[in-house]
Amino acid sequence: MPDRVIVEVDESLSDLIPGFLTHKRADIITIFDANARRDYAEIGRIAHRIKGEGGSYGFETMTEMGRSLEQAAALHDDGAVVTLARQLLNYMDRLEIVFQPSED
């Protein structure tokens, strides 16, 4: 089994995280489809959203990957898009989320 990636997330987000991760997986599938069509605008939009949302939910690595995907789309770099999308899926497959008490 690959090494787990432990991410600590505020427990107030516990109801939102499963749906968020499901949507990000769907986004990655859309990226693969868009890449096959060479629809770099679509890839860029999705990557920009991943970049913004990742950090909001406590997934800083996802934000960095979204940034890299956005750059690859801007460069029309098919190979980099595929590689980065696979890396993002691999990251998500290895996630272990630990909910931490809210700091109220």
Q: 93 pLDDT exceeds 70?
A: yes
Could you tell me which residue, 103 or 25, shows the higher pLDDT? 25
Taking a C-beta distance cutoff of 8 angstroms, is the pair 89, 28 a contact? yes
pLDDT class for 103, splitting at 50, 70, 90? confident
Q: What pTM, to 2 d.p., does this model score?
A: 0.91
- Which of 62, 52, 48 has its CA nearest to residue 93? 62
**What does the pLDDT look like over 38-71, one tens digit per residue?**
999 999 999 999 999 999 999 999 999 999 999 9
Superfamily name and number for 5-100: HPT domain (1.20.120.160)
Amino acid at 34: A
pLDDT for the residue numbered 102: 82
- Residue 102, SS3 per DSSP: coil
Closest by alpha carbon to 10, among 48, 52, 55?
55
- Backbone angles phi and psi of 30, in degrees to 5: -65, -35
Mean pLDDT on 20-40: 97
Mean predicted confidence (pLDDT) in 90-104: 91
Q: Which helix (H) or strand (E) holds 14?
A: none
